[in-house]
Chain A
Amino acid sequence: MAEKAKILIIGAGKCGRALVELFSKIEKITIIGVVDFNQDAPGIKLAKALNIPTAVDYREFMNRAGLSCIFNSTGKAQIEEELMLSKPAGVEVLGGCSVNLIQELIEEREKVEQQLKGLAERRDNVVDNIGVGAIPINPKMETPDFNKQIKKDEDLGKKDKIIESIIQNSAVATFVINSQHKVLYWNVACEELTGTKAKDLLGTSDHWKAFYSYQRPCVADIVIDNSFVDLDKFYKVYQGSTLIPNGLHAEDWYPKLGGRDRYIVFDAAPIYDTEGKLIAAIETLQDITERKKAEDELKKAYTRLKEMQNQVIQAEKLNTIGQLASGVAHEVRNPLGIILQGVNYLENKIPVKEGDISETLTMLKDSVKRADKIINTLLDFSRFTNLDLRPEDINSILESSLSLVKIKFESKNIDIIPEIKKDVPKVLADRNKLEQVFVNIFLNAIQAMPEGGNITIRSYGKKLEGIENGTSRREEGYFMIGEKVVVVEIEDTGVGIPEENLKKVFEPFFTTKGSTGGVGLGLSVTKNIIHMHRGIIYAESRFGQGAKVTVILKIAE
Chain B
Amino acid sequence: MDRKRILVIDDEENFTKLIKWNLEKTGKYEIRVENSGLLGFSATKEFKPHLILLDISMPDMDGSEVAFQLKCDEDTKDIPIVFLTAVAKKEEVEANSGIIGGHPFIAKPVELEQLIDVIERNVY
Contacts and interface: CB of A to CB of B under 8 A. Distances in A.
Interface of A: 326, 329-330, 332-334, 336-342, 344-345, 348, 368, 372, 376, 379-380, 383, 473-474, 476-478, 480
Contact of A337 (B91, B100, B108): B108
Contacts of B67: 473, 477
A344 B111 contact: yes
Contact of A338 (B14, B57, B102): B14
B1 interface: no
Contacts of A348: 22, 25, 112
A345 B87 contact: no
A336 B108 CA distance: 8
Contacts of A372: 109
Contacts of B92: 383
Nearest to B90: A376
30 contacts: A333-B86, A333-B109, A334-B12, A334-B15, A334-B86, A336-B108, A337-B86, A338-B12, A338-B14, A340-B109, A340-B110, A340-B111, A341-B19, A341-B110, A341-B112, A342-B18, A344-B18, A344-B111, A345-B21, A345-B22, A348-B22, A376-B91, A379-B89, A380-B89, A473-B64, A473-B65, A473-B67, A477-B67, A477-B68, A477-B102
B108 A334 contact: yes
Given A326-B87, A473-B65, A337 B102 contact: no
A338 B55 CA distance: 13
Contacts, number: 81
A474 B57 CA distance: 12
B40 to A, nearest CB: 15
Contacts of A337: 12, 15, 86, 108-110
A341 B16 CA distance: 9
B108 A473 contact: no
Most chain A Cβ neighbours within 10 Å, of B12, B68, B87, B108: B108
Given A337-B109, A340-B110, A480-B102, A329 B15 contact: no
A363 to B, nearest CB: 15
Interface in B96-124: 100-103, 107-113
Contacts of A334: 12, 15, 86, 108
B90 A341 contact: no
What are the nearest 4 A-B pairs in CB distance? A477-B101, A333-B86, A337-B108, A341-B18
A345 B18 contact: yes
Contacts of A341: 15, 18-19, 22, 109-110, 112
B6 to A, nearest CB: 14
A338 B64 contact: no
Given A334-B12, A341-B15, 9 more contacts: A326-B87, A334-B108, A340-B110, A341-B19, A341-B22, A376-B89, A376-B90, A473-B67, A477-B100
A446 to B, nearest CB: 35
Contacts of A340: 109-111
B16 to A, nearest CB: 9
B18 A338 contact: yes
Nearest to A472: B64
Nearest to A372: B109
A341 B114 CA distance: 11
Contacts of B110: 337, 340-341
A472 to B, nearest CB: 8
A338 B15 contact: yes
Most chain B Cβ neighbours within 10 Å, of A337, A338, A340: A337
A337 B8 CA distance: 14
B18 to A, nearest CB: 4
Contacts of B112: 341, 344, 348
B68 A476 contact: yes
Nearest to B19: A341
A368 B109 contact: yes
A435 B25 CA distance: 55
Contacts of A338: 12, 14-15, 18
A315 to B, nearest CB: 19
A329 B86 contact: yes
Contacts of B109: 333, 336-337, 339-341, 368, 372
Nearest to A348: B25
Contacts of B100: 477
B87 A329 contact: yes
A307 to B, nearest CB: 29
A476 to B, nearest CB: 6
A133 B88 CA distance: 78
Contacts of A329: 86-87
A401 to B, nearest CB: 29
A337 to B, nearest CB: 4
Nearest to B13: A338
